[in-house]
Amino acid sequence: MKTVMLAAAALALSAGAVFADPIEGMWKTQPDAGKFAYVTIKPCGAAFCGNITKSFDAKGQEVKTGNEGKQIVIDMAPKGGGKYEGKVWRPSNNKIYLGKITLQGNAMALAGCVAGGLFCKSQDWQRVK
């Protein structure tokens, strides 16, 4: 019985990895105000959230900005076709925007928008391997 339970647990864990959403993982942000970050995105309820894992200066040296651990991708809900909608926080001005993500393989286009999505500013993020 113990062997069957261990096998079932192993199968459940491996199935979770196989069915992970493509947005999950660690992403490198585009530089903003001379710095960039690694953001870890994982499920949060029915959506996805991302927290700043590490911060770097323009030369790629790890720095402490005080933003490590803070949520930057907020409640991104899958909309199908590699698209997600939710909110994004921009550390350089401490504002939260309507957020849109489009995934294509290991590249992510993340947009922060105002005026109901009429005006957006985009960043290109790359998956960290």
Domains and CATH numbers, the chain: 22-127 (2.40.128.520)
Quote the CA–CA distance of 84 and 49 in Å, as a whole number.
Answer: 11
The pLDDT assigned to 122 comes to 93
Distance CA 66, CA 86 (A): 24
Question: Can you tell me the distance from the alpha carbon of 79 to that of 106, in angstroms, rounded to the nearest whole number?
Answer: 18
Band of the pLDDT at 18, cuts 50, 70, 90?
low
Rounded to the nearest angstrom, the gap between the alpha carbon of residue 14 and the centroid of all alpha carbons in its chain is 22
pLDDT for residue 3: 46
- The total number of residues shown for the chain amounts to 129
Q: What is the pTM of this model?
A: 0.81
Helix H or strand E segment including 9? helix 2-18
Q: Region 107-115: what's the mean pLDDT?
A: 94
User: Facing residues of 38 across strands?
Assistant: 28, 54
- pLDDT at 70 (0 to 100): 97
Digit-coded pLDDT (tens) for 68-106: 999 999 999 999 999 999 999 998 899 999 999 999 999
